[in-house]
Amino acid sequence: MTALLSIRDLSVRYRRDGVEATALKGVSLDVEAGERLAIIGESGSGKSTLALAIAGLLAGGAKTGGRIEWFLPASHPRLGRDIGFVFQDPSSSLDPVMPVGKQIAEVARTHLELTWPEAYAKAKTLLERVRLPDPDSALRAYPHQLSGGQKQRVAIAAAIAAAPKLLIADEATSALDTIVQAEIVALIRHLVAEDGMTLLFISHDIALAATLADRIAVLRHGELVELGETGQILDAPRHAYTRALLDAHLGLDAKPLLDRQGTPA
């Protein structure tokens, strides 16, 4: 496989109320083009900070060290064009006073240089791809008229509107119930495979991540403590923290929430 990006000795520090806190400590890893990599860890482990750093979305006061090197034709990756980002809460990432069709069309128009009619046609196709019923009506709907799962599907449609190389899903299923989680994970898997995207799946749930990822990276207190193929991580975890995560989520005899095809177990 060919590397899409390389992270070397990445550190991120924040200063709040005169106190400096370190969110990431010397993280190094490569992300291969076309792979599905899960970043897992508890709240505060630094996994979302890592996603934001990769996407160039860190808060202005963040101090960073190390480097992130991209292997793309463009000198700097563009959010929306090269990187699609799906946030945890679609209610906060979608504009509440704009129909969702226009929000998707705006992404396509901006990055693909389409006319508005072309962009709306693209938005309808995307709503069909994320399996929203009655896409014509959905184009005109406002976020408050949709369920949580439907809003997340809209957010995914907007994230892939310009066919990005990398799709980052940051806790994209954590606010959803188990059945809808399974549907969203299966949808992400299908879209990533169909478009040949690289996936960075951020989650606190190692069982859920295991159904989707080729590799799993485990963060603890801002440090990368384990990285390996999904099968190896599940069958023979090397770090005590990884074993604790598995015990907490799966128990000694429990099965994963989903099988590898995204079907409820």
Q: How confident is the model at residue 206 (pLDDT cuts 50, 70, 90)?
A: confident
- Pairing between β-strand 3-16 and β-strand 63-70 as defined by DSSP bridges: antiparallel
Token output for 99: 């129909």
Q: What is the CATH number of domain 3-77+165-250?
A: 3.40.50.300
Question: How much of the chain exceeds pLDDT 70, in percent?
Answer: 93
Report, in angstroms and rounded to the nearest whole number, the Rg of the chain calculated over CA atoms: 18
**Cβ-based burial of 209 (10 A; exposed 0-12, middle 13-18, buried ≥19):** buried
Q: What are 11-39's pLDDT values in tens digits? A: 999 988 778 899 999 999 999 999 999 99
* CA 17 vs CA 43, 61, 192: distances in Å: 21, 12, 41
Average pLDDT, the chain: 90
Q: Are 195 and 33 in contact (CB under 8 A)?
A: no
Q: What are 75-99's pLDDT values in tens digits? A: 689 999 999 999 988 888 899 999 9
* CA 249 vs CA 43, 55, 164, 203, 232: distances in Å: 14, 29, 32, 12, 17
Closest CA to 49 of 87, 7, 4, 12: 12
Q: Which neighbouring-strand residues pair with 11? A: 65
Residue in this structure with the two tokens 């066919």, named with its chain if needed: 163
Domain ranges of the chain: 3-77+165-250
Q: How confident is the model at residue 208 (pLDDT cuts 50, 70, 90)?
A: confident
Q: Is the pTM of this model over 0.85?
A: yes
Q: SS3 for 97?
A: coil
Give the E-state strand segments of the chain in sequence order. 3-16, 19-32, 36-40, 63-70, 83-86, 166-170, 198-203, 215-220, 223-229
Q: What are 114-167's pLDDT values in tens digits? A: 999 999 999 999 999 999 999 999 999 999 999 999 999 999 999 999 999 999
